[in-house]
Amino acid sequence: MKKILLPVLAGMVVLFLFAVTGCSKSNSQAKKDRKLIDEYVASHNLKGQFTGSGLYYVIEDSGSAKHPTLSSQLNVDYKGYFLDDQIFDQGQGVSLPLSGVIAGWQEGLPLIGEGGKIKLLIPSALAYGDRQAGTIPPNTVLGFDVTLNSVSK
């Protein structure tokens, strides 16, 4: 019995330590992201708000009453940039499903309706996390200016 119990306990300790250090890393990254977003907001004199997940948004035009849901197909104009204002991507008249984009968009775009405009500052956990995505380094806060041209459900 003791021979079986010892490996089980050791395994539980390893899992616990892994969970604690993993949570600590993501907590630490979330704090770094929040500091970067706070600095950007202050330097650009933005007047928006945070969601519980850490997404910062400024609604520039609320648009119509037709808001997207996760199952919506969208047509958008957007500009994606790093917090040094360097643009990494942009597009006009881009069609995409809301379910197929990063979590920051999935959370932020339903805050506006068709025809609306929003600025999103997305913490890394709601973007690409600790993964590299093209020219976007891991653990990078991203900014987006998005115009929601149309919503089809």
Please answer whether residues 118 and 111 qualify as being in contact, where contact means their C-beta atoms are separated by less than 8 angstroms.
Answer: yes
Residue 7 pLDDT: 41
Residue 21 in any domain: the answer is: no
Residue 64 in any domain: the answer is: yes
Residue 115 pLDDT: 98
> What's this model's pTM, rounded to 2 decimal places?
0.84
The CATH number that applies at residue 124 is 3.10.50.40
d(CA 4, CA 54): 44
Residue 17 in any domain: the answer is: no
Residue 58 in any domain: the answer is: yes
Residue 94 in any domain: the answer is: yes
Q: Which domain holds residue 71?
A: 33-152
Residue 8 in any domain: the answer is: no
Total domains in the chain come to 1
Please answer whether residues 78 and 145 qualify as being in contact, where contact means their C-beta atoms are separated by less than 8 angstroms.
Answer: yes
Residue 19 in any domain: the answer is: no
Residue 26 in any domain: the answer is: no
Chain segment 71-121, per-residue pLDDT in tens: 999 999 999 999 999 999 999 999 999 999 999 999 999 999 999 999 999
pLDDT higher than 50, residue 140: yes
